[in-house]
Structure 1
């Protein structure tokens, strides 16, 4: 893996967010809308979001009444979230943290009811780094906590195109993408029960993604077979 190439993605995303203040629009993602129903069904109150971008999902969760803490590694993303939260009068429900998810999360164990991440997992991250992120997610969730993430999968039209950076990682139009197989999802599920792995599409390409729902296992339990949510 060319670590310096992966690290430059931070600068690329920073520049992209500055030049495109509403790159993904202000409407919530399909994933966030689906997640809200699951969170409500599971009594979730406190959510950790990984990779909030410019905040379209962060702010949607706050508008739905959840307490949302968002980790984002770009300063422009953090600024956009904070400014928009003030405009929408939901600042009291939004906590922003500028942080690199490849480093230990700055939260105590068992602090959150749920974790949500839309397409962060399929960024410029190796399987080793993803394993670390999944472990940190597990650590900061309460027992039985819900973890939801999405990732572009190996059926996506961009998979296998552009510059190959090892594993199922390809650089397409200056963006480095890690494409997921179901085996990859299962590899990252240590400490979790996989509830569902659903397919959905987003965008004009369209991007093909997995919508993964997991539940944190109680200490000492092993991974269970899939069940329905």
Structure 2
């Protein structure tokens, strides 16, 4: 009997050693397909199948700041409560949820909040213009102006093209019943009839304009619209 038990123990040990040599660990599977392969046991509805990462409060996570270094890059944790005092490493911990450790920047980052690709241009904000016969002016971060003036004539005034970067885009939509026409005295870089610039923007119409370089200076030209 002892001999049988010894043989069984040796076989189990050899199997474990073989799996270890393969560099793979399987849970609920004898053929792990990755370094760690956790397979759901769908035949047993009485046990939850999931992977639980370390769970702690913000304060408990911050208490371990000194031990999260370069070797812990990519570490995953679940914050169960936002408590305690914010530290440099936990500055992004503002809600419960998953966080990963970004070692190069020495900070915990919310899972899913990775940096987005830098766009070629940035759409910032739109603004409503409601006063008829009043010039449409632009502030620094306007991208689109929508005029809704009823009757009369709204006066269009694009930003100074010569002070904007090349390929800057601005859009104007006329959602009112009046006509949006260009200010004839205060438009820099806009010439009606040149570069397909329309003489005005009728009701229910809109145009986008882009800055192009002509003779060493930026001017507006039509990008799209009707």
Using the size of structure 2 for normalisation, the TM-score is 0.25
Structure having the higher Rg = 2
Tell me the TM-score normalised to structure 1 length.
0.24
Greater RCO structure (CA 8 Å; 6+ sep): 1
